[in-house]
């Protein structure tokens, strides 16, 4: 075991007491992770960081919540997609963002004004699936409103964005996952703990139920 890198923290630019959720880029040149502050603070904001495999290039990418599925490397490029934004409630300020390595200042947000993205998955080198809902800036207090998400595909080259799932009123589509050429997601009714796992072959295939009445989406293992 040998020393790799020391993160210099301060309360102004980067404050953290731990680092977790390490993920390697496809070629192993970069690793991303979350630098997490103290308990209450971490509910509202964490710092997404990247460091080179040699430990000599450290960069703070942006602020986000502590959901590890909200940051994912592209399948064949040094591009890191994440949902940026601070604040523990999902009602606003959650934007799909892509950072190109190594110059993290080259970042682009893809979430349209008036919407929030609450999960993401790479479908192809140029396409990202996001779970998207209409933002709710009117909410101020009381029970936190349910964000009724549907799945959208974002073409990061053309910047075209298309809705690809259409849950019924009161339902929400969450947890998109890619298994080979298949897209899967979890659909449940608001206020219900159980739901159904749906899947479709590609983005234009016909959706069908894969698993009924389950607690949550399964973890898929796929060997290329």
The per-residue pLDDT for range 73-99, each reduced to its tens digit, is: 999 999 999 999 999 999 999 999 999
Residue 222 has pLDDT above 80, yes or no: no
83 close to 118: Cβ distance less than 8 angstroms: yes
What is the distance between the alpha carbons of residues 82 and 3, in angstroms, rounded to a whole number?
28
Looking at the chain, list the stretches that DSSP marks H as alpha helix, in order from N- to C-terminal side.
39-42
What was the pLDDT predicted at 221?
A: 78
DSSP for 14-66?
Answer: B--SEEEEEEE-TTSSEEEEEEE-SHHHHTT-EEEEEEETTS--EEEEEEE-S
Average pLDDT over every residue of 105-125: 94
Structure tokens at 127: 């396409």
pLDDT for res 12: 74
Q: Which pLDDT band, with edges at 50, 70 and 90, does 113 fall under?
A: very high
**Does the predicted TM-score (pTM) go above 0.85?**
yes
Model confidence pLDDT, tens digit, residues 33-47:
999 999 898 999 999
Given this model, what pLDDT does residue 102 score? 83
Residue 103: closest CA among 141, 52, 154, 69: 52
**Predicted pLDDT at 104:** 67
Residue 224 predicted with pLDDT over 80:
no
pLDDT at 218 > cutoff 80 = yes
- pLDDT band for position 105 (50/70/90)? low
Residues of the chain by 3-state class (helix, strand, coil), percent to 5: 5, 45, 50
């Amino acid at each position: 075991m040998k020393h790799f890198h020391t993160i210099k923290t301060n309360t102004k630019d980067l404050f953290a007491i731990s680092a977790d959720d390490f993920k390697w880029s496809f070629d192993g040149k970069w690793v991303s992770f979350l630098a997490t502050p103290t308990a209450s603070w971490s509910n509202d904001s964490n710092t997404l960081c990247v460091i080179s495999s040699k430990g000599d290039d450290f960069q703070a990418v942006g602020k986000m919540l502590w959901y590890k599925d909200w940051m994912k490397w592209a399948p064949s490029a040094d591009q890191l997609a994440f949902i940026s934004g601070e604040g523990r409630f999902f009602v606003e300020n959650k934007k799909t963002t892509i950072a190109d390595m190594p110059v993290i200042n080259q970042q682009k947000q893809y979430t349209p004004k008036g919407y929030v993205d609450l999960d993401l998955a790479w479908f192809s080198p140029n396409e990202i699936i996001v779970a998207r809902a209409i933002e709710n800036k009117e909410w101020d207090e009381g029970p936190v409103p349910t964000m009724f998400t549907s799945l959208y595909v974002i073409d990061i080259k053309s910047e075209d964005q298309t809705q690809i799932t259409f849950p019924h009123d009161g339902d929400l589509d969450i947890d998109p996952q890619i298994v080979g050429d298949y897209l899967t997601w979890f659909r449940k009714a608001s206020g219900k703990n159980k739901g159904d796992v749906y899947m479709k072959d590609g983005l234009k295939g016909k959706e069908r139920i894969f698993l009924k009445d389950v607690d949550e989406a399964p973890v898929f293992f796929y060997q290329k």
